[in-house]
Structure 1
């Protein structure tokens, strides 16, 4: 249930009287009426190792920031997406790649989205490695594309007419089914003498989305004029009003939003806790 209050406090304990063994720092104060409480951050080794260090999100997407942070970032996009899980990386630096995204859109969507995310990560990591703020402890980059069932990558709408035509096409073709791909890349420096000096892990996730074929042209036009999907590939946002167009999905919801959280956490664990080191380097240590 949506609550539009913006004051935040730690969530309450599960019992009114926390057991004596519970740390005083984890004991929550009693709730105040009308206050929305943020969840406590995930207590995982990989996340604890990077808290307080430079963690860069190589993306300007408010949705990706919202999924990774533990704050009321719904205000960034003007919506109240309280159903979106939050990891608790509160000190993210938002540094989008400034290099043009010039991958060949004739590539299969799986390859295109991965190449684009890798390019973003490498560009931002290279630009920040000698920063006065110090080398980043972690760089996270991601890219999302929407494609037709034939593998055609859909651009952001170029005009209202193009926007309407795109959504009608997604409704009418292949029984309303199309695909969303998100590639995630994580990079972190290695303490060892390994070349190239950083851990690098990637993941591509695919989710099938089915538009409701009973959606009318009038509803599509009305949605387009909200302008919610004007800046989004495929022309809709499933986390917002655009959900009225969707009948069901096959895969993870947060992948369609723009960042598969479970896979992202697994990548962070790989590069932070157990980075791959070449065998010849391990033997020399």
Structure 2
């Protein structure tokens, strides 16, 4: 039997892969994606309300945009948030992603709520995803090739890891009463187990594709990164970056709160009735 070749981080490919800085910046003129047959949109009241409104995705992730298109939200405005994702990681992972996704949504809301040219947003959808190793370390995007290889080796060798995605949906209130918006938030968890038999050669070959260079945890389960995964427990699209079923529920909840004039009228009527009863006493 031939001796298994050990990989050295110093090995250089014939053609050097793109840098991690390049992977983090979208190409200026990316090739057009292959067009697939688009499913008919879901005829749900909340989605119908949004057809003529501004639907803003506070993320430049093409994967999140594609997932929202699957439920009929194809008229998206992509406005990446300028929120600095530097919150302390002392809290639990789901609290961390919830706080980050909320910060992203609020930053875009404050930027767009008084947009004179385009009008107020109909809804803002923000999300944040992190991978948490079996040792409890929050993993975000790899910083270098060496870091990337070490990250994937850790995910392979230390047991199942967890993927957390938080989703935040915001919409301005018709009444503009404080704070001026309705907000709904949720998070989802998926357990992912790498195949422990995958070789170092495969890990290095995958790293040098740079597919996972701009992804939390360093891999894309919807692409070539699927070869690393043995099985998952939970939502697949949560690992991709947006739990679609959860997102749809949040959209329905927040849009139900958007027109709160009837609620205010009801509250005013109840208050008037209470005052009248007090006057009679």
TM-score, scaled to structure 2? 0.79
Q: Answer with 1 or 2: which has the greater Rg.
A: 2
Q: CA deviation at 1:225?
A: 0.9
Q: CA deviation at 1:159?
A: 1.2
Pick the aligned partner of 1:116 from 100, 123, 129.
100
Pick the aligned partner of 2:239 from 245, 256, 259.
256
Q: CA deviation at 1:279?
A: 12
Q: CA deviation at 1:284?
A: 1.4
Who is 1:128 aligned against?
A: 112
Q: CA deviation at 1:39?
A: 1.2
1:249 partner SS: strand
State how far apart, in whole Å, the 2-side matches of 1:195 and 1:216 are. 56
Pick the aligned partner of 2:188 from 205, 224, 242.
205
My pick for the range that moved more, 96-105 or 125-134, is: 96-105
Structure 1 stretches lacking a partner, 5+ long? 8-35, 70-85
Aligned length: 236
- Aligned CA-pair RMSD: 2.2
- Per-residue deviation, residues 247-276 of structure 1 (Å, max 9, x unmatched): 000000000000000000000000112459
* 1:195 matched to 2:168: no
Higher relative contact order (CA 8 A, sep 6+): 2
Q: CA deviation at 1:37?
A: 2.6
State how far apart, in whole Å, the 1-side matches of 2:110 and 2:204 are. 44
- Higher helix proportion, which one? 2
Q: CA deviation at 1:42?
A: 1.1
State how far apart, in whole Å, the 1-side matches of 2:261 and 2:164 are. 30
Structure 2 stretches lacking a partner, 5+ long? 1-32, 270-281
State how far apart, in whole Å, the 1-side matches of 2:84 and 2:64 are. 20
State how far apart, in whole Å, the 1-side matches of 2:231 and 2:249 are. 26
State how far apart, in whole Å, the 2-side matches of 1:207 and 1:223 are. 22
1:51 partner SS: coil
